[in-house]
Chains A and B, each alone.
Chain A
Amino acid sequence: MLRERGLPVRRPQLTFATMDHSTPTRTEQVFGGAPITIEAAARQVRELEVNCADFGVELLGLRHARRGIVHIIGPELGLTQPGKTVVCGDSHTSTHGALGALAFGIGTTEVGHVLATQCLLQRKPRTLAINVSGRLAAGVTAKDLILAIIGRIGVAGGTGHVIEYRGETIAALDMDERMTVCNMSIEAGARAGMIAPDETTYAYLAGRPRAPRGEAWEMALEEWRGLATDAGARFDRQTDIDASALEPMVTYGTNPGMVIPVSGTIPQRPGDAAFAKSLAYMGFEPGRPVAEQPVDVVFVGSCTNGRLSDLRAAAALLRGRKVAPGVQMLVVPGSQEVKREAEAEGLHRVFLEAGAQWRESGCSMCLGMNGDLVAKGQYAVSTSNRNFEGRQGVGARTLLASPLTAAASAVRGRLTDPRELM
């Protein structure tokens, strides 16, 4: 679009590029001489390199030490900051709202508008407050919380809205957990989800490579402290959630709103053809418990659950245990930095000794664009965010869950409530 019109990137210093969706995760293809197996993916990688060089945009290329999934590295590098407007041609840009930024996904044409003008034409969205109170029980994670929220308000419940997650439970979450929650706002139809910045946010950002320093940090802090929603502000809609009542959650259908506790049974919806079609795809019958479903593949990773604390949680369950025979488990860190940190703690050894695969960072099996796929008819417990038909491969059956549930299910070879192994 820019080339066609002879336009430059208006603010290259405010523009940032990485590669994640179609990049290989096998070390020999990233760092060795082995070619990227999918030709179209290799071409995409090359085109991005050329475009960034031509337009003066900073790129964290395939072999860069800080490369990773865009929604992991934005916060990790300190590029994402409170009060900023962050856009990216990917719907999970909502993740960055965890730092108190207004962050949302846009389409390719809109990316062109931003590159050319640093502007976007927008309508003011409606506001939705999700108030969460109560403590999450042991073994119940931020992932279970957001899955429960989506189950409550539905996959279109947030359409046209920006969500603010509020309340004591949210304030008590660490940044990784907040990002998991905001990440899946789009799965409830909301383009953006945000959490007010607080001391947790500032402590997370302090000292990050692209965060302000010295005097600039002090000035930024002062500005950030003024960003939180005013007390008594009115929202277009509100929903209250009691976190203390939640259990580990899992999806049983083909959208993230089809979700139940791992201890639950598949619901009945007589006369609902779409529901029946979804269950048929999943190979499930109504009224049957979902736990104990045999699984073929376990995937830990993605922009939802590919951060260090997610890997720690999975490793804690796997330590001294083995992945069940016949189960393929893939652990894919969300960024090269996460990978390095995990290796420094020896987490990779836990995974490898348990019989899981340990890969280079990327989106990987979240959408299977790079060839990391789930085979037709197989069941995958996945820490990613979408269980759409065919998302992880044609005919693949995805059960979305937390890293704890994923690891527990890998050990048992069946969908398992992680609390049974804790």
Chain B
Amino acid sequence: MDPIKTLRARTVVLPVSDVDTDQIIPARFLTTTTRSGLGAHLFADWRYGSDGEPKADFVLNRPEAKGCTILVAGNNFGCGSSREHAPWALADYGFRAVVSTQIADIFRNNSLKNGLLPVIVDPAAHGWLMEHPGAQITLELETSTLTLPTGQAVRFPLEPFARYCLMNGVDELGFLLGREQQIRAFEERRPAGPPA
């Protein structure tokens, strides 16, 4: 994973609350066992008409959304199914961060493992962002702050370990494998056999 320290980009605003992972990537695209190319199906049922043509009025299809890599969504993003295809599709499409007032636990975990930054902000900052699509904002990992173009900075929660992994491009599996001794010691202390 590439290290992320600062992210400076423009936003695209999706004014929908409780966006579930079935909307982010519908189940019919889950039979794929590879992750690349999923961006084409991101928000498929909102983005394309029944004829398969892009709907001109969907936010991602508007010309001004081009090059915007931070998604600002309504309250509570990523609920529902645990499909990691959701952050895969967002990242494959080109998004680097998602901003909302609340982000579902499993989606948030999955995002952190795929270099997609889940950013939870207070309702005031969120309200400002919702009203200013295309705003250029800065996400600073070191300080866990989101800076609005007005200069106002708000903090977002990011636990130290996740920050460390993101900033240093550390992959968690490598970290766990490096704890072999502790894992073995635990297994010897607690020899849980097979459940039969």
Answer yes or no: are A and B bound together in one complex. Answer: yes
Give the interface of A toward B (CB within 8 A).
1, 5, 7, 13-14, 21-22, 38, 40-41, 43-44, 47, 78-79, 81, 84, 89-91, 104-110, 112-113, 116-119, 121, 123, 125, 155-156, 159-160, 186-187, 189, 191, 209-210, 212, 255, 257, 273-274, 277, 367-369, 376, 386, 388-391, 394
A154 to B: closest C-beta gap in Å: 8
Number of B interface residues in the complex (CB < 8 A):
50
Question: A38-B31, A159-B76, A273-B15 are contacts. A388–B23 as well, Cβ < 8 Å?
Answer: yes
Q: Across the two chains, which residue of chain B brings its CB closest to A58?
A: B194
B80 at the interface (CB under 8 A from A): yes
Partner pick for B16 among A106, A159, A274, CB 8 A cutoff? A274
Once bound together, how far apart are the Cα atoms of A210 and B194, in whole Å? 9
Once bound together, how far apart are the Cα atoms of A110 and B80, in whole Å? 17
Note all chain A residues with C-beta closer than 8 A to B159: 123
In the complex, the number of residue pairs spanning A and B with C-beta atoms less than 8 Å apart equals 148
Note all chain B residues with C-beta closer than 8 A to A155: 18, 76, 79
Once bound together, how far apart are the Cα atoms of A123 and B161, in whole Å? 10
By the criterion CB–CB under 8 Å, are A107 and B79 in contact?
no
Once bound together, how far apart are the Cα atoms of A104 and B114, in whole Å? 20
B36 at the interface (CB under 8 A from A): no
Question: A106-B109, A109-B84 are contacts. A369–B183 as well, Cβ < 8 Å?
Answer: no
A105-B106, A109-B114 given; name 14 further pairs at CB < 8 Å.
A5-B173, A44-B33, A108-B84, A113-B173, A121-B176, A155-B76, A155-B79, A191-B105, A255-B79, A274-B74, A367-B27, A369-B28, A389-B22, A391-B27
Note all chain A residues with C-beta closer than 8 A to B109: 106-107, 110
Q: Across the two chains, which residue of chain B brings its CB closest to A394?
A: B45
Note all chain B residues with C-beta closer than 8 A to A44: 31, 33
By the criterion CB–CB under 8 Å, are B84 and A117 in contact?
no
Most B CB atoms within 10 A — which of A121, A160, A187, A257? A121
Q: Across the two chains, which residue of chain B brings its CB closest to A390?
A: B45
Once bound together, how far apart are the Cα atoms of A21 and B22, in whole Å? 14
Once bound together, how far apart are the Cα atoms of A228 and B32, in whole Å? 42
B142 at the interface (CB under 8 A from A): no
By the criterion CB–CB under 8 Å, are A388 and B80 in contact?
yes
B104 at the interface (CB under 8 A from A): yes
Give the interface of B toward A (CB within 8 A).
15-18, 20, 22-23, 26-28, 30-33, 45, 50, 74-76, 79-84, 87, 102-106, 109-110, 113-114, 159, 161, 172-173, 175-177, 179, 183, 187, 192-196
Once bound together, how far apart are the Cα atoms of A386 and B102, in whole Å? 20
Question: A109-B113, A156-B76 are contacts. A369–B175 as well, Cβ < 8 Å?
Answer: no
Note all chain A residues with C-beta closer than 8 A to B33: 43-44, 47
A sample of 8 inter-chain contacts (CB < 8 A) reads A13-B194, A89-B82, A107-B87, A108-B110, A110-B110, A156-B75, A367-B22, A391-B27
Note all chain A residues with C-beta closer than 8 A to B31: 22, 38, 40-41, 43-44, 369
A416 to B: closest C-beta gap in Å: 27
A74 to B: closest C-beta gap in Å: 10
Sorted from nearest, which 6 A-B pairs have the closest CB atoms? A40-B31, A13-B194, A107-B110, A107-B84, A91-B82, A105-B82
Once bound together, how far apart are the Cα atoms of A369 and B25, in whole Å? 13
Note all chain A residues with C-beta closer than 8 A to B75: 156
Once bound together, how far apart are the Cα atoms of A269 and B11, in whole Å? 28
Once bound together, how far apart are the Cα atoms of A79 and B195, in whole Å? 6
By the criterion CB–CB under 8 Å, are A159 and B173 in contact?
no
Q: Across the two chains, which residue of chain B brings its CB closest to A84?
A: B195
A223 to B: closest C-beta gap in Å: 12
Q: Across the two chains, which residue of chain B brings its CB closest to A273?
A: B15
Question: A156-B104, A274-B16 are contacts. A13–B183 as well, Cβ < 8 Å?
Answer: no
Note all chain B residues with C-beta closer than 8 A to A90: 81-82
Once bound together, how far apart are the Cα atoms of A389 and B105, in whole Å? 21
Most A CB atoms within 10 A — which of B26, B183, B187? B26
Most B CB atoms within 10 A — which of A21, A108, A367? A108
By the criterion CB–CB under 8 Å, are A388 and B102 in contact?
no
Once bound together, how far apart are the Cα atoms of A156 and B15, in whole Å? 17
